[in-house]
Structure 1
Amino acid sequence: MATPAPDPASASTSTALSELPAPASSPQRAPLGQRIYEHLNADVDADLSTVPLSIFCFMTGFIDALTFSACYVWCAFQTGNTVQLSLAIGRLFTGPYPREIGFQIPDQQALCSLITFLIGAFIGRIGDKLGSRKRIWLICGTFIQAAMTLAACLTALYSGQTSFAGVRGQPTWTSPLGFAALGFASASMGLQAHLGTRLGSQFATTVVLTTIWVQFMGDPKLFSPRAPIKSRDHKALAILMLFLGGLIGRALDGTIGAANTFAVGAAIRLLISVSWWWVPRKEPKKEQGGAKQG
């Protein structure tokens, strides 16, 4: 029986089809665990961190209102505490007789605030090892601040002392638990300042606003009607949020007491910690002019 000859047309069609590129397979999505890991270990964009950083500034005023009302100590502004300690040491060598020997209670509280603030800032060095702009560290670092604020709540509560000092020179929080409340509040601000400094945004440290005031008043675009202007608007927002924090902190302190106000502050810090999840990641900069020809 004769074998039929192959059809030339069908053979050429088969050859053409075999030479066509294979259809590209749709990219497979990475497993959920891997995506979460990559998201947590990505660097956040400091320029797009307006929400958590502005609330950091709010917390500066909020916590400072409590410590100043109790013992005339700004737990976030350590310049004044440093000068106060220098004056206390100076009184040991000069002044009217009889000279005061030893640190008085206000001086001890200033020293407590300064030391614990530095401890909080030192804890921030953990982030330098993990990556100071990594999302995982910003979440954990803010959570640690919330834990410190909650500790200030509990120690202020069980100290049994009032939330408000008398005249200057007669502060409250003079018991060991009162000192602990001041210390935990100061440590939380030290850690917050470290996080803000490492991000390097227009909000600076989110703690010291003297520099922000000067930069704001000296901004060449201060009176420009154009908006938005990041260098101007973010500084104005930082100042406004700190003012509102002090206002609301003092109002709550006078209504529900320092311990309960610290609890509110801990809850706010917890919300800030969660908010870092949604801050966009830092995109790598595109090279200008393309690759060089060899």
Structure 2
Amino acid sequence: MQESPVSSTPGDSTVEKLESQPTPASEQSNIPNARERLSKHFSTKVETSAGYIPLLVCCFATGVTDGTVYNAYGTFVSMQTGNTIFVALGTSGQNNRPYGWARSLCSIGCFAIGCITFARLHNLIGGPRLRRTVLFSFALQTICVVIAAAIVQSGILDGQYPSMRDPDDVNFTELAAVALLSFQAAGQIVNSRGLGVGEVPTVVITSLVCDLVSDELLFAAWNKNGKRNRRFVGFVLTLLGGIAGGWISKSTGQVGPCLWFLAAIKACITLYWLGLVPLQRLMRKGA
């Protein structure tokens, strides 16, 4: 005996269509929440072109720093070639300042420690090109500068420019500011290498000028040689930064204002890497 086929009513097909359609709850589950959007935003890779402007600004920051700290404490904190010569002169007993070689040696050592630290941290965070890596790097640099500026501003270190104390009066507390500023300066060159902007090392002028003037396309049109343009701008900004640092220190008679100015520069670069505009767009899409 054959079974009679089950008859379908018009209402059955309507129910099946309704069941196949996604519910509003399931649609909402497919929309990434704010935490996922933030994670995606900070996990994106930064393009090399995005690093040109902030690293060129770092050249200006280097000029401001060394133009101020050298006259105040007798050492560089970014450009370590001069410090190496100072250490050599101190070893041969020809240093102009008592224990000036110690300041330079401290700067070299802290710069080297900074290079190691920033490079290792970049790898631990996920790689030098991730947005969160560069953001963390410049945030750490900003914190170091703020601490150094606060130490000088508080009077723990002699912040007068030029210093009024006896040249033979050695104050080793100056090494605190030298150490912090040298450590953070290392982050700049590590970032330039990680982002693939090696033509702008930010803390080295010798190799920058060599690469600039030896470029076979030195006199090419402006839009034909981007690396040459960035090297030239980096050199000019470093020079202008040194002038600005010396002028601010001389006009204020203090080291602190230059350090706070440097902290503001680093903070602005950090906000640049935060990517506020793209982030706001992501938040609006999910709202």
TM-score range, shorter chain: 0.7 to 0.9
Alignment-mate amino acid for residue 86 of structure 1: A
| SS of match in other structure, 2:64 | helix
Alignment match of 1:189 (pick from 185, 188, 198): 185
Pairwise CA distance, 1:274: 1.0
Pairwise CA distance, 1:165: 5.2
Cα separation, 1, equivalents of 2:276 and 2:215? 27
Give CA-to-partner distance per residue, 1:71-93, whole Å, 9 cap, x none: 331211112212322333344xx
Which residue is equivalent to 1:45? 47
C-alpha contact 2:131 2:273 (8 A) present in aligned 1: yes
Pairwise CA distance, 1:154: 1.9
Cα separation, 1, equivalents of 2:277 and 2:214? 30
Q: Verify: 1:114 aligned to 2:93, yes or no.
A: no
Pairwise CA distance, 1:161: 4.5
How does 1:182-221 map onto structure 2 within 5 Å?
182-221=178-217
| SS of match in other structure, 2:203 | coil
Cα separation, 2, equivalents of 1:171 and 1:228? 54
| SS of match in other structure, 1:75 | coil
| SS of match in other structure, 1:231 | helix
Alignment match of 2:162 (pick from 161, 164, 168): 164
C-alpha contact 2:64 2:244 (8 A) present in aligned 1: yes
Cα separation, 2, equivalents of 1:54 and 1:86? 31
Q: Verify: 1:267 aligned to 2:258, yes or no.
A: no
Residues 226 and 45 of structure 1: is their aligned pair in 2 closer, same or farther, counting only changes over 3 Å? same
Residues 77 and 220 of structure 1: is their aligned pair in 2 closer, same or farther, counting only changes over 3 Å? same
Residues 73 and 155 of structure 1: is their aligned pair in 2 closer, same or farther, counting only changes over 3 Å? same
Query: Any gaps of 5 or more consecutive residues in structure 1?
Result: 1-21, 282-294
Which residue is equivalent to 1:286? none
C-alpha contact 2:137 2:187 (8 A) present in aligned 1: yes
Pairwise CA distance, 1:129: 2.1
Cα separation, 2, equivalents of 1:193 and 1:52? 12
Q: Verify: 1:54 aligned to 2:56, yes or no.
A: yes
Give CA-to-partner distance per residue, 1:142-170, whole Å, 9 cap, x none: 1111111112112223223523258xx94
Aligned-pair identity in percent equals 21
Which residue is equivalent to 2:220? 224
Cα separation, 2, equivalents of 1:88 and 1:74? 15
Alignment match of 1:278 (pick from 271, 275, 285): 275
Residues 150 and 160 of structure 1: is their aligned pair in 2 closer, same or farther, counting only changes over 3 Å? same
How does 1:1-294 map onto structure 2 within 5 Å?
29-91=31-93, 104-124=98-118, 125-130=120-125, 131-157=127-153, 158=155, 159-164=157-162, 170=167, 174-256=170-252, 257-278=254-275
The number of residue pairs the alignment matches comes to 250
C-alpha contact 1:120 1:187 (8 A) present in aligned 2: yes
TM-score, normalisation: structure 2: 0.76
Alignment-mate amino acid for residue 63 of structure 2: G
Cα separation, 2, equivalents of 1:90 and 1:279? 53
Pairwise CA distance, 1:238: 0.9
C-alpha contact 2:146 2:263 (8 A) present in aligned 1: yes
Cα separation, 1, equivalents of 2:85 and 2:212? 26
| SS of match in other structure, 2:58 | helix
Give CA-to-partner distance per residue, 1:38-83, whole Å, 9 cap, x none: 1111121122322211111111101111111113312111122123
TM-score, normalisation: structure 1: 0.75
Residues 29 and 222 of structure 1: is their aligned pair in 2 closer, same or farther, counting only changes over 3 Å? farther
Looking at CA atoms only, which structure, 1 or 2, has the larger radius of gyration?
1
Give CA-to-partner distance per residue, 1:163-215, whole Å, 9 cap, x none: 3258xx9488x423322112211111122222222222154321112111111
